[in-house]
């Protein structure tokens, strides 16, 4: 595996482990943030694989998937879409109280479980 691709994957793995630790400490908003970040980095590994260059400094998962020339299977479309929508409010919260209510324990557990499945599929796309 290319060193740059390996570094993106290692960082993605680190971030999903961080999400797991944050779930245990009940920091649910940041579980969602780290899930997004982990998927973003896995996609950037695929961009490096496809484009043979450093991926752009963007956070839009749809754009990254497009740059990586991958089509996300239907079974992962929901988490893919939800994480992409969460990228702005978890980075720049306008109403932290509302965010905390929305991203509660049940939501964080669901996002984390679905993210882990999606990451498994993404990593399987690496040649």
- Read off the CATH number of the domain in which 103 is found: 1.20.120.330
This prediction has a pTM of 0.96
Per-run averaged pLDDT (10 residues), the chain, 127 residues: 94 98 97 98 98 97 98 98 93 89 97 98 97
Domain count, the chain: 1
44-58: per-residue pLDDT in tens? 999 999 999 999 999
CA 80 to chain centre: 8
The CA distance from 16 to 33, in Å, is 10
Q: Identify the domain containing residue 36 by its residue range.
A: 3-124
CA 8 from centre of chain: 12
Q: How far apart are the first and last CA of the chain?
A: 8
């Amino acid at each position: 595996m290319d060193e740059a691709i390996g570094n993106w994957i290692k960082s993605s793995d680190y971030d999903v482990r961080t999400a797991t630790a944050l779930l245990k400490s009940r920091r649910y908003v940041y579980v969602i943030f780290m899930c997004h970040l982990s998927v973003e980095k896995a996609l950037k590994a695929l961009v490096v694989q496809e484009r043979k260059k450093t991926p752009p400094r963007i956070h839009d998962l749809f754009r990254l998937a497009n740059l990586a020339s991958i089509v996300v299977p239907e079974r992962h479309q929901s988490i893919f879409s939800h994480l992409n929508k969460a990228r702005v409010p978890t980075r720049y919260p306008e109403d932290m109280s509302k965010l905390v209510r929305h991203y509660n324990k049940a939501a964080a557990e669901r996002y984390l479980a679905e993210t882990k499945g999606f990451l498994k599929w993404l990593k399987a796309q690496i040649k």
